[in-house]
Amino acid sequence: MAAGFVKQLTKAGHLVQIVGRNTGKSEALAKQFGAKAAAPAEAAKADVLILATAYGDAVDALGALGNLAGKLVIDITNPLTADYMELTIGHSTSAAEEIAKAFPGIRLVKAFNTIFAQVLASGPELAGSTVPVFIASDDMAAKETVSTLVHSLGFGAIDAGGLKNARYLEPVGGLNIYFGYGAGLGTSIAPTWLIAK
């Protein structure tokens, strides 16, 4: 997912910094797309942080960035079992809510968790439609910023309500994985919503 974000964000003209635990990997990715590999302290100065680790690594990865109070963080995670076929948490909480709980000062936005890495990398048009990104957060201004960012990449943005609705979005991410891998439809698929005008 990180590579897809770096590709699409740099293409859209955003200044992108990559923070990883493996400097060589970050530098190679940065070089590929004209981005910059950065130290954790630099990342904490960014306008928007995209958390692109597994859910199980999220708290460690964000924790390594120092003080994140007031920072807008996009959580793209799906809390998956090792075989990717089930969610590890849900119903009464979500990965997004647990991450928000671990970093009470951050402005957390759930987004992109229903977009396969291959779709992110290949771009917003799929099967003749614009792929939508569902965006959930309790912070309206943060949701607006993420919506603008999503549109700058050419994807559609759908306001999916408050952060609690990550409890719905994460199972949709799980269903997408089932369709893609379990049902064998492949990764050139994305969930959307049909709305009669």
Ligand X SMILES: NC(=O)c1ccc[n+]([C@@H]2O[C@H](COP(=O)([O-])OP(=O)(O)OC[C@H]3O[C@@H](n4cnc5c(N)ncnc54)[C@H](OP(=O)(O)O)[C@@H]3O)[C@@H](O)[C@H]2O)c1
22 part of the interface to ligand X, by CB under 6 A: yes
Nearest distance from residue 40's CB to ligand X, in Å?
A: 9
Interaction between residue 21 and ligand X (CB under 6 A): yes
> According to the binding rule CB under 6 A, does residue 77 interact with ligand X?
yes
Should residue 17 be labelled a site residue for ligand X when binding is judged by CB under 6 A?
A: no
Q: Which stretch binds ligand X (CB under 6 A): 20-28, 124-132, 144-152, 157-165?
A: 20-28
* Given 14, 17, 27, 61, the residue binding ligand X (CB under 6 A): 61
Cite the beta strand spans of 16-70 per DSSP E: 17-18, 36-37, 48-51
Q: Of 145, 77, 71, nearest to 108 (Cα)?
A: 71
Q: Stretches 41-49, 101-109, 111-119, 124-132: which one binds ligand X (CB under 6 A)?
A: 111-119
- Angle formed at CA 146 by CA 26 and CA 87, multiple of 5 degrees: 70
Question: What dihedral angle (degrees, nearest 10) is formed by the CA atoms of 110, 111, 116, 118?
Answer: -130
Single out the residue of 56, 82, 85 nearest to residue 175, CA to CA.
85
Among 49, 50, 115, 190, binds ligand X (CB under 6 A): 115
Which residues have a Cβ under 8 Å from the Cβ of 130 and sit 6 or more positions away?
Answer: 124, 154, 155, 156
Query: Is residue 1 at the binding interface for ligand X, with CB under 6 A as the rule?
Result: yes
Q: Does 113 bind ligand X (CB under 6 A)?
A: yes
Residue from 6, 9, 20, 169 touching ligand X (CB under 6 A): that is: 20
Separation between Cα atoms, residue 105 and residue 107, nearest integer Å: 7
The residue ranges that bind ligand X (CB under 6 A) are 1-2, 20-22, 25, 52-55, 57, 60-61, 64, 76-78, 80, 113, 115-117, 173
